[in-house]
Amino acid sequence: MNPSDLAAAVDTSAGLLRARLGERRPRIAVLLGSGWGPFADAVTDAVTVPYAELPAFPRLAIGGHAGLLKAGRIGRQELIVLAGRKHTYETGEPDGMKGVIRTLAALGVELLVQTNAAGSLDHAMPPGTVMLVEDHINLVQRSPLVGEPGDGRFVDMGTAYDATLRLQAQAAAVAATGHALPVGVYAWVLGPQFETPAEIRMLQRLGAQAVGMSTVPETILARHAGLKVLALSLMTNMAAGLSAETLSHGHTMATAQAASERAVALLAAVVQGLEAAA
Ligand code: HPA
């Protein structure tokens, strides 16, 4: 989509959503990655809108990603839940979620909570562990802001993952589970193939604790749009070469499903602990 078509699609999508949301004014949006889908079922008083009805939203192909927006509540926290993201490995383009993030910003959303499935580079984080992302490495070296006009494109990424939100998330995790989440750096790879063991050894030396195929483009878009970002990674496997397992999407999804009940309960606690005005 060219920039003026995208801007028009964002206006239309935000208008449609405003009409559907009525009095709701959610300031938090949660983007669900692989394994986190059941979180959408926990939303109460929900208004559900398929991405297909929103012109700025992507059309999704991959199994396990529904393509639904749900606006409602978790406990007392008002929020928008996004079930489904477009990945860069589907098209080669990193801007598949640009219209989504800009629509959220147009609606007044201030915080984006991202979730994903990732490979663990650290034996202290076995499959099933949820890691709090403190920073990322954009290993793909692609940006959804290429071609963007204006000085706003030179986004400061020094505080991409908001420190105050991370503290709030840790406080909620401790209250809910008795311990803090491990914290680490997420390295973005293009995929869709998994990494080689040599690539994983490289990522370890670069200072990453987790590797995955998403999240980074949306963080860049969110920071550009003025949203604060919190991100949680569910470790679905030890990365290539760190265990005897053969990696596959089926294996990733199976582990994600097995771990998802705990991860989703944790996410509900974290979301309720966030203060939108932070
Ligand atoms: N590598 C990249 N992406 C992933 C992995 C992995 O091992 N597991 C889940 N998403």
- Identity of the amino acid at 61: A
pLDDT tens sequence for the chain (278 residues): 888 899 999 999 999 999 999 988 899 999 999 889 999 999 999 999 999 999 999 988 755 556 999 999 999 999 999 999 999 999 999 999 999 999 999 999 999 999 999 999 999 999 999 999 999 999 999 999 999 999 999 999 999 999 999 999 999 999 999 999 999 999 999 999 999 999 999 999 999 999 999 999 999 999 999 999 999 999 999 999 998 888 788 888 888 787 888 999 999 999 999 985 44
- Identity of the amino acid at 131: M
Give the DSSP letter of residue 108: T
Tokens of 28: 């938090």
Q: Any residues with Cβ below 6 Å from ligand 1, and which?
A: 117-119, 189, 194-195, 211-213, 236-237, 239, 247, 252
Residue 101 lies in a domain: yes
Position in ligand 1 atom list of the atom nearest CA 120: 7
C-alpha span between 235 and 130 (Å, rounded): 6
Residue 250 lies in a domain: yes
- pTM of this prediction? 0.95
Q: Confirm whether 89 is a catalytic residue.
A: yes
Q: Confirm whether 93 is a catalytic residue.
A: no
Q: Confirm whether 261 is a catalytic residue.
A: no
Q: Confirm whether 143 is a catalytic residue.
A: no
What is the reported pLDDT for 14?
Answer: 97
- Pick the residue whose CA is nearest to atom 9 on ligand 1: 118
Q: Confirm whether 90 is a catalytic residue.
A: yes
| Distance from residue 12's CA to the centre of ligand 1 (Å) | 35
Residue 278 lies in a domain: no
Residue 196 lies in a domain: yes
| Distance from residue 38's CA to the centre of ligand 1 (Å) | 20
C-alpha span between 270 and 233 (Å, rounded): 13
Give the DSSP letter of residue 55: T
Give the DSSP letter of residue 242: S
Residue 199 lies in a domain: yes
Token pair 């003026």 is found at 4
Q: Give how many domains the chain has, as a whole number.
A: 1
Q: Confirm whether 123 is a catalytic residue.
A: no
| Distance from residue 249's CA to the centre of ligand 1 (Å) | 9
The CATH number linked to 264 is 3.40.50.1580
Of the residues 13, 34, 116, 233, which is catalytic? Answer: 34
Position in ligand 1 atom list of the atom nearest CA 195: 1
| Distance from residue 20's CA to the centre of ligand 1 (Å) | 36
Residue 262 lies in a domain: yes
C-alpha span between 10 and 23 (Å, rounded): 20
C-alpha span between 82 and 154 (Å, rounded): 27
> Is beta strand 228-238 parallel, antiparallel or unpaired with respect to 111-120?
parallel
What is the reported pLDDT for 278?
Answer: 46
Sign of CA dihedral 248, 207, 32, 6: negative
Residue 171 lies in a domain: yes
Of the residues 90, 110, 134, 148, which is catalytic? Answer: 90
What is the reported pLDDT for 277?
Answer: 47
Identify the CA nearest to 31 among candidates 276, 208, 256, 219: 219
Q: Could you tell me the residue range of the domain that residue 167 belongs to?
A: 3-273
78 - beta bridge partners?
A: 73
Residue 155 lies in a domain: yes
